[in-house]
Amino acid sequence: MATAQTYSVIGQRVNRTEGYGKVSGETKYIADILLVGMLHGKILRSPYPHARILSIDTSKAERLPGVRAVVTADDTIKQGWGAFLQDQYPLTVGVARYVGDEVAAVAAVDEATAQEALELIDVEWEELPAVFDPEEAMQEGAPLIHAGKERNIAIKIDVERGDVDRAFAESDLVVEDTFQSMHQWHCAIETIGSVAEYSHGKYTIHMNTSTIYMARGRIATALGVSEADVRIVQSGVGGAFGGKSCDDNNAIVAALLAKKAQRPVRIINTRDEEFLAGSRPRVPMKIWIKMGFMTDGRIRAKQIRVVADNGAYSGKAPAVTGVAALRHDTAYRFTDVKTEAYLVYTNKIPTGAFRGFGNPSAEWALEQLMDIAADKLGIDPIDLARINAVEAGYVSPHGNRVGSCELIQCIDKVEELIGWKEKRANRVPYRGLGMGCTVHVSGKRHFMDYDGATATVKVNEDGKVYILSGEGEGGQGIYTVLCMIAAEELGVPLEEVSISQADTDVNTFCLGAFGSRVTYVAGNAVRDAAAKARQQLFEEASHLLEADAEELGSKDGRIFVKGSESRYITVADAARARLFRRGGAPIIAFGSFDADSVMQDDTRYGNESGGYNFGCQAAEVEVDPETGQVRVLHYASVADCGTVINPIGAEGQVDGALAQGIGYAMTEGMTFEDGRPSEPNFSGYRIPSMRDMPRKLSSAFADSYEPTGPFGAKGLGELGTDPTAAAISNAIFDAVGVRIKTLPITPEKVLRAIQEKDA
């Protein structure tokens, strides 16, 4: 149950710490960085989905006036790299595997010259047979995309817990169906970019990445140097959503050019380049799912088969597939489950991490099958969700241990906010309601058996507080949350706290933004550091106030004796007193936290995360039966993220996640022609605008508290994108009795389904 607390800073509606720069235009993003002597880089990309390079001649390009460097694979160590499988090369070694694959690059005095030079690079290609569909790619005889990866299978997941055959036999109702999800591009308004420098054996790369240490490691591997020889400095980041987590080659190519040219080199993706080969889009998955239920609605068994489209290189797709295969078993009570998942190479853009990280694809299937089952069981879908929803203490079949959990409260609140029962009792023609539940992690033990964070907090002599953290800010409000935690713990006003730029030379190791980890994991580290700094302050203050440290409290920048607040000194007083004396020292403390999670073992068993966040969403739609057009009239979204540290920020995360969910469900979608995205721009690929959002959004947070989280908080960032598409599809079924099983939901599909149903 939640613990009600009053805080000075936590839970207050505060202004974003870095807001001034953003509204004034002063914040410097990667394209705003200008270094003396900086060159402009451009990348030559494969025009073919699968082709061998017979020869490359860069001599004409090199001779073009204004060109300072041209690089090909010969300028690399020809080492594959990648987050999980090292299957991607900075520049094509022999074979290009998708339209957009990096082949060569040029650094020149300006962009136009670099572009002209690209056109002077002569590449002799031998086209190879290509394969674009993952099921086809798994067939015997399909073109092999990576040597040694038989049937183009990058990874296979095979997990069974309990005995599904017996469980299905014991089920009163068995339902099954197949669902197909699609690519989704991050479309951060700022594209990927970097500015690289090389000096005396060391690379310094300014990047708009949200994971500076992970980037450093991968870039070092790709370049064949040690991590200490690569410094990553985070620029302002214009949105990431998982798309700027260094799974692409932009920074590596910039580094190669910088070394060869002996000058700083900047490469900023154009928008169509971003679509072709920039951020790695969401992994499309075909999911066959079968579930067994008892008549009272309890889930008895689940079996799924996933075929996921890896694209040409793996990046984070292996982990995404793993999440899609197993994560959802932490939302409902499961015992007997079986998963078979294949991640399959195709000659298309590499897929990877995007907010939700596999959950949206899995829930597109599972939340719809729940809805199908509800219909057949004669149980209201929202009741079916409640019957099966997990509670605190649940342990999933894969070992996920749920701490705090208010999923049922989320369901109850959604029911109320959308008017579920009333609307279903008073039906309006062509209107319907649908819902879905979700679970997500607050960080996950993925990499190197580390699910932790570190931070340093120092208090200056003027009483101002400075956090050294390498987590970085991608726009989601990390800086503000961490500053709020430090402010609360130290007892200083938020305005007195600031946070460093993320820089691998300056900070200690941080995993960065992924897995909704920062508030929970890094927040705990910051709190730890702040608590230790406060202890130092109190030790000093205890001398000055002639009281025991245990008798002291701090608030609004003052340290006082509890019970007689007029006896106080300022934080600045304490900091100065500690420093300016014989044997003095500054107030500075190091904090660390590692979550109580475990690496999944070979059978993928293990408690992934220290905290699980939950959510429920519902949509009210209206369908035009003559055109198939669907309008979302009202949307309800309730999240359990424990304590809401920054309400404005948290609401913003819910809103933004919904927008991406709506885009995924209805407005986005790309067709491919011979492996090439057919309209790689914002005119062809439509992300929602203000008018495309549901007129009415009711959002709320569950009353919840996670004891292991900083001030009771858990993660939130991804939750809101997970069940949206399924909720909308379920609502369409409720409205007109047709179910859309492939994304995106288009009026044409809805109309066809209605026509088929009426025929």
Task: Tell which positions 263-292 bind other proteins, by CB under 8 A.
Answer: 270-271
Per CB under 8 A, the segment of 52-60, 68-76, 337-345, 667-675 that binds other proteins is 667-675
Cα 567 from Cα 87, distance rounded (Å): 64
Phi and psi dihedrals of 380, rounded to 5?
Answer: -60, 130
Q: What is the rounded (10 degree) CA torsion for 311, 313, 319, 322?
A: 50
Site for other proteins in 239-258 (CB under 8 A): 239-241
Residues 175-204 as x/- pattern, contact with other proteins by CB under 8 A: -----------xxxxxx-------------
**Burial classification of residue 756, based on how many CB atoms lie within 10 Å of its CB (0-12 exposed, 13-18 middle, 19 or more buried):** exposed
Q: Binding of other proteins at residue 602 (CB under 8 A)? A: no
State in angstroms the smallest separation of the CB of 592 from other proteins. Answer: 28
Nearer to other proteins, 365 or 482 (CB): 482
Minimal distance, residue 300 CB to other proteins, in Å: 38
Q: Which of residues 96-155 bind other proteins (CB under 8 A)?
A: 110, 112-113, 115
Q: Which is nearer to other proteins, 200 or 691 (CB)?
A: 691
430 near other proteins (CB under 8 A): no
> Of 442, 423, 443, which is closest to residue 432 (Cα–Cα)?
423
Exactly one of 667, 698, 700, 741 binds other proteins (CB under 8 A); that residue is 667
**Closer by beta carbon to other proteins, 18 or else 87:** 18
Q: Which residues contact 564 (CB under 8 A, 6 or more apart)?
A: none
31 binds other proteins (CB under 8 A): yes
Candidate list 136, 461, 684, 700; residue touching other proteins; CB under 8 A: 684
Residues 4-23 binding other proteins (CB under 8 A) are 15-16, 18-23
In this chain, which of 278, 656, 709, 710 binds other proteins, going by CB under 8 A?
A: 656
Provide the minimum distance between the beta carbon of 14 and other proteins in the complex, in angstroms, as a whole number: 10
Pick from 616, 627, 599, 647: nearest CA to 727: 616
DSSP state of 236: B
**Shortest distance, CB of residue 684 to other proteins, whole angstroms?**
6
Stretch that binds other proteins, among 26-34, 41-49, 121-129, 425-433 (CB under 8 A): 26-34
Assess 742 for contact with other proteins (CB under 8 A). Answer: no
* CA–CA gap between residue 729 and residue 656 (Å, rounded): 20
What residues between 534 and 593 interact with other proteins by CB under 8 A? none
Q: Phi-psi category of 250—alpha, beta or left, where left has phi over 0 and alpha has psi -120 to 50?
A: alpha
Residues 617-636 that bind other proteins (CB under 8 A): 626-629
If 0-12 CB within 10 Å is exposed, 13-18 middle and 19+ buried, where does residue 141 land?
Answer: exposed
Instruction: Give least dist CB 642 to other proteins, A.
Output: 20
- Should residue 686 be labelled a site residue for other proteins when binding is judged by CB under 8 A? yes
| Burial degree of 328 (CB within 10 A; 0-12, 13-18, 19+) | buried
How far is C-alpha 389 from the geometric centre of its chain's CA atoms? 24
- CB of 262 or CB of 681, closer to other proteins: 681
- Which among 428, 487, 436 is positioned nearest to 463, based on CA atoms? 487
Q: Which residue, among 232, 252, 237, has the nearest Cα to 190 in the 3D structure?
A: 237
SS3 state at 149: coil
Q: If binding is defined by CB under 8 A, does position 648 make contact with other proteins?
A: yes
User: Considering beta carbons, is residue 155 or 478 the nearer one to other proteins?
Assistant: 478
Residues 463-502 that bind other proteins (CB under 8 A): 474-477
Strands (E), 508-645: 552-555, 558-561, 564-570, 587-594, 612-623, 630-640
- Asked if 701 interacts with other proteins (CB under 8 A), we say no
